[in-house]
Structure 1
Amino acid sequence: MSESSSGASQPYTYPLPPGVTPTVPGEVSLSDDPQPNRPAGRRRPVLLVGAVVAALALGGAGALAFQKFGGGGSQPAEVLPGDAYAYLRLDIDPSAGQKIAAVRFLGKLPQVKDTLDSGDPRKKLWELASKDASNDCVAKFDYDKDIAPWLGDRVGVAVRPGGTEKAPNLAVAIQVKDDSAAKDTLTRLFACDKGSSDSEVRMKDGYAIVTPPGVGDSTMAAVDKGSLAANPTFTQDMAALGEQGVMSGWFDMGTGAKELEKLGGAAGLGALTGMTGMSGMSSSMGGLGSMPGAASAKGRTAMALRFEADYVELAAVSRGLDGAKAVKGSGSELASLPANTMAALSVAGGDQMVKNAWPTLEKQLQGFGGLGTGSSDVVGEIEQQLGVKLPDDLAVLLGRSFTLALPGQTFGPDTPTIGAKVVSDDAKAADALVGRLLERLGAPSDALTHRVAGDKLFLATKPGYADDLQAGGKLGDSDAFKLAVGDVSNANLSMFVDLDKVDEVVKGDVHGEAKSFLESLRAVGVNASSTGDGQGTFTLRLVGD
């Protein structure tokens, strides 16, 4: 593996308030993705500005290559209110190490490689965004004359308490190089759209702060009282996250889960993020408001999208999760799969996690009672239909480790080859449970091979693959696995997909740019670990070929 860019890049560090000691990095976050509900074809001016910066941060290798190396300067969190419960930041001028790593990684992708020297892509992105605008007024703005002179490199959006479904209390901070030009252009942009013409624009410390009508004064008063960058909880969470790359975000469930209910749950957050062109945040937080018991959730999650020379990584740390007990994990069973594995998923410590989380999980399941079941006792219905006892039988089935695997193969009309192995304190009980489930589901007795060897239960749709799983292998020794999944010695959840093998399967069915893009990628990996009571880490990596 290449040397970590974050180690040599001197990432931005938020100034900690006096008396606050930063925590040590190294502390699993879950997430959905509702689509914002807005009229088709409509593009708000705030969305246009946000879209330009977002697209640059996620795909603008040219900008990263030609920006001056430094990544210094203020961050949006320094001019946004400290009482925010959600925050998302995009940065096309990150640390020097991130720029170098981004160019090296993106250079592996054919769609990007040929445009690394094509100049500043912001103009092209602006033209693309304004071309899609249904309002001719927006299309009349000239990038070189009206946008480039003032548009900076960073944008941040903060969501504050007190909003409603129709009027979310948010603030967008856009970095600017010329206060007067920025305010004039943004005002004229908003005037193009009756729906946002009342948006308020204020300038502070090199940023344009855009808010919905009527909340500008209270937003700025909140910033004066204390910015998000001065919020000790926020700064410690971001310190635990480490390098914040080209995109970073933060969500406080203690306040946010309750507030999302006021915004209409998932739909409310989807609409909120859609207004700013940052709907990606909804994929991390959108479902919380609609989950039974979510309003009482506690804890925070900080995330970052960052680069290494060989991969792009979405990393997250979760801290202060209420009732989340630390569970020892190990991804060794994933790493010991046969080398011909195309895709695999492993859960370690599942038996203990189910028992620890059952009181909360049971309440959430019962909260769905009446949603088409005709009964409020959802758990009882599951037990009756499957002939199981919850959570005991679920813990037995998951065992100390549960690994699902799919070898490389050519898919046809026959049953695909797929298998699993369970490491359990009582593998015979797990085997008997599988037999009962197959009988309840009406499956033929030979539909699934299952056998016990010591403390392990092996299952497969074909006897030969059960033999392969029992024999094991050294999947974890491959470079692709090491890059995609990393160190699995403490992993509670780990996943690996060999995209080279996937490419072999879909060859002939994928063409053009999609084909070249898939061929330029090597693997996908997930690694999530519990690092203590109420805290954990998560990484999702996409490895280039």
Structure 2
Amino acid sequence: MRRSRAVAAATVTTVAVAGVGLAVADPLGLRDRPAPSAADVLPEGVASFVEVDLEPELAQQIQMADFARHVPGLASRLPGMAGGDVKQHLATAIVRQAGCRDVDYARQLEPWLGERVALAQLDDQTRVLAVQATDEPAARRGLPALLSCAGWSSGQVLYSDGYLVASNTAGGAGEALSMATRGVLSSNASYESDTRRLGPRGVVTAWAWGGLAAEALQRTDASSGAATLRFADGALEAKVVARSRQDLPTSTSHPKVADLPADTSVAVGISDGAERADWLWESLERLGVRGDLQRAATERGLDLPQDLDLLLGKDSRYAQAPGGAGESLTVTGDREGLQRLVSGGQLDKDGIAVHADKDDTILTADTDRAHELSDPDVTLEEDGDFRAAVARPDHSQLTFFADRDGIERLLLPRLGAQQRAEFVDVKAVGLNTHVEDDDYQVAVGRVVVG
């Protein structure tokens, strides 16, 4: 439910309570109907916004608890994920993260805390906190002490539309609500467009056009973006959408990673690669990984980015079998050009051969694997972990998948002993990225446990 400018203006007046300003007037009698989201209270001009749902849907809570049982470190840091009162544990974890270690939930939070809490960045200095309150008088008594231990004691706290709105600066909350009279965040066209593409909201939802996210947006050449963290199909899922500043090429196909043999341990697929080679190369530079890739390619006798068109072709998929064996690259593209690229060079010396497979060309040093790739008995499409880890592989321009073997070889060596212990029950990870409507880059990542 969106609140009009008149409603936002009418629900804000100020009194002083324990040295903290609190807005208490409600001439339209709306306090029994709080806004469903802090985005309906905070101004449309905030640079970044993060909201936590303290009472997610039951299905989310059940999957959250199941996930946490397989990730001991996560359950110990956030006990509510493993069961019990999810709202209590989520709220307590947030408050403790803010610096308030001695929190009496039953006395300080439970009597008044609603379902949503959000943090927004108004400008370089001002942060604004919006907490849904079911009992305003109790909230007035409980929140100031929590703000004080979090270092916000000199800030301002106001009441609007079912929310206590606090800031870390004197006058910040008042400025935010004054701005909201001219338009709330949920009425911001970019916010509405970005968050709508997220689909069902998860436990955490975020949106930004600048502020703390400015550097990340600049690296991806995006003007704004949104993200949500939720549980879906038995996996932890993060979905990110970013609106590009330029038109993006949409795909006319997908890289067919699901057609790889079922024992594939690591897979990376790219569709329309040759057409997007320049854009991909620029993206690697913005992400800061182009140099490492170029050095690795040079060791194999490849010249990047000149050879990218051939290696990517129309569609391509790189794969490894368990233990890193059977390394291969399957390309739908210029077979003669790939043959010239291999012949007489370092790839040839490394035993890489070119194998024809209908419209595809397979580059691998393992002849037996080439046959398996051409006609697998069972494919990844029939593998439960792959299906859980990769959302809609037939609607992807870039696909990544790693099973337990791949995780142990590629990810765990980069982690400390304690972090490795937390991944003991992680069975697979996956990523699907694609373009929507020519200007939205969408990424869906999943972690599967069991």
Is the aligned partner of 1:460 residue 2:389?
A: no
Q: 1:300 pairs with 202, 218, 224, which one? A: 224
Kindly indicate whether the alpha-carbon contact (under 8 Å) linking 2:273 and 2:309 is maintained by their aligned counterparts in 1. yes
Q: 2:52 pairs with 66, 90, 94, which one? A: 90
Partner of 1:228: 185
Partner of 2:253: 329
Alpha-carbon separation, structure 2, partners of 1:219 and 1:541: 36
Q: Which runs of 5+ in 1 are unaligned?
A: 1-13, 19-71, 261-268, 270-281, 373-378, 410-415
Larger relative contact order, structure 1 or 2 (CA cutoff 8 Å, min sep 6): 1
Q: 1:106 pairs with 56, 67, 71, which one? A: 67
Pair 125,484 (structure 1): closer, same or farther in 2 beyond 3 Å:
closer
The one-letter code sitting in structure 2 at the alignment partner of 1:350 is G
Per-residue deviation, 1:458: 2.3
Partner of 2:337: 429
Partner of 1:120: 85
Partner of 2:27: none
The one-letter code sitting in structure 2 at the alignment partner of 1:397 is L
Alpha-carbon separation, structure 2, partners of 1:312 and 1:320: 26
Alpha-carbon separation, structure 1, partners of 2:302 and 2:404: 39
Pair 496,140 (structure 1): closer, same or farther in 2 beyond 3 Å:
closer
Deviations 1:306-359 (A, max 9, x none): 223522221233445422122323131x1121221112111111111124567x
1:538 aligns to what SS in structure 2?
A: strand
The one-letter code sitting in structure 2 at the alignment partner of 1:485 is V
Aligned residues: CA RMSD: 4.3
The one-letter code sitting in structure 1 at the alignment partner of 2:108 is D
Per-residue deviation, 1:129: 7.7
Kindly indicate whether the alpha-carbon contact (under 8 Å) linking 2:272 and 2:315 is maintained by their aligned counterparts in 1. yes
Alpha-carbon separation, structure 1, partners of 2:239 and 2:112: 32
Partner of 2:130: 173
Partner of 1:393: 307
Per-residue deviation, 1:481: 2.0
Pair 528,124 (structure 1): closer, same or farther in 2 beyond 3 Å:
closer
Q: Which runs of 5+ in 2 are unaligned?
A: 6-33
Pair 101,506 (structure 1): closer, same or farther in 2 beyond 3 Å:
closer
Q: 1:530 pairs with 426, 431, 435, which one? A: 435
Alpha-carbon separation, structure 1, partners of 2:2 and 2:440: 23
Structure 2 length as normaliser, TM-score?
0.74
Q: 1:287 pairs with 216, 222, 240, which one? A: 216
The one-letter code sitting in structure 2 at the alignment partner of 1:204 is S
Partner of 2:404: 499
Alpha-carbon separation, structure 2, partners of 1:417 and 1:196: 56
Kindly indicate whether the alpha-carbon contact (under 8 Å) linking 2:407 and 2:428 is maintained by their aligned counterparts in 1. no
Deviations 1:34-85 (A, max 9, x none): xxxxxxxxxxxxxxxxxxxxxxxxxxxxxxxxxxxxxx96211111111123
Is the aligned partner of 1:311 residue 2:235?
A: yes
1:349-388 equivalences under 5 Å are 349-355=272-278, 388=303
Is the aligned partner of 1:240 residue 2:145?
A: no
Alpha-carbon separation, structure 2, partners of 1:489 and 1:191: 51
Kindly indicate whether the alpha-carbon contact (under 8 Å) linking 2:355 and 2:370 is maintained by their aligned counterparts in 1. no
Pair 544,491 (structure 1): closer, same or farther in 2 beyond 3 Å:
same
Is the aligned partner of 1:338 residue 2:261?
A: yes
2:269 aligns to what SS in structure 1?
A: strand
2:395 aligns to what SS in structure 1?
A: coil
Structure (1/2) with the larger strand percentage: 2
Pair 298,139 (structure 1): closer, same or farther in 2 beyond 3 Å:
closer
Q: 2:159 pairs with 188, 203, 208, which one? A: 203
Partner of 1:450: 353
Pair 435,532 (structure 1): closer, same or farther in 2 beyond 3 Å:
farther
Per-residue deviation, 1:221: 0.8
Per-residue deviation, 1:505: 11
The one-letter code sitting in structure 2 at the alignment partner of 1:207 is Y
Pair 108,197 (structure 1): closer, same or farther in 2 beyond 3 Å:
closer
Partner of 2:447: 542
Kindly indicate whether the alpha-carbon contact (under 8 Å) linking 2:235 and 2:448 is maintained by their aligned counterparts in 1. yes
2:310 aligns to what SS in structure 1?
A: helix
Matched positions, count? 406
Alpha-carbon separation, structure 2, partners of 1:190 and 1:484: 40
Per-residue deviation, 1:533: 1.2
Alpha-carbon separation, structure 1, partners of 2:45 and 2:98: 34
1:13-32 equivalences under 5 Å are 15=2
The one-letter code sitting in structure 1 at the alignment partner of 2:387 is K
The one-letter code sitting in structure 2 at the alignment partner of 1:187 is P
Partner of 1:406: 320
Pair 343,91 (structure 1): closer, same or farther in 2 beyond 3 Å:
same
Alpha-carbon separation, structure 2, partners of 1:130 and 1:324: 41
Alpha-carbon separation, structure 2, partners of 1:118 and 1:330: 39
Identity of aligned residues (%): 23
2:196 aligns to what SS in structure 1?
A: helix
Alpha-carbon separation, structure 2, partners of 1:493 and 1:89: 29
Partner of 2:37: 75
Kindly indicate whether the alpha-carbon contact (under 8 Å) linking 1:172 and 1:210 is maintained by their aligned counterparts in 2. yes
Pair 17,345 (structure 1): closer, same or farther in 2 beyond 3 Å:
farther
The one-letter code sitting in structure 2 at the alignment partner of 1:518 is V
Pair 100,227 (structure 1): closer, same or farther in 2 beyond 3 Å:
same
Deviations 1:201-240 (A, max 9, x none): 2222222222231433321111121111122332233223
Pair 127,82 (structure 1): closer, same or farther in 2 beyond 3 Å:
closer
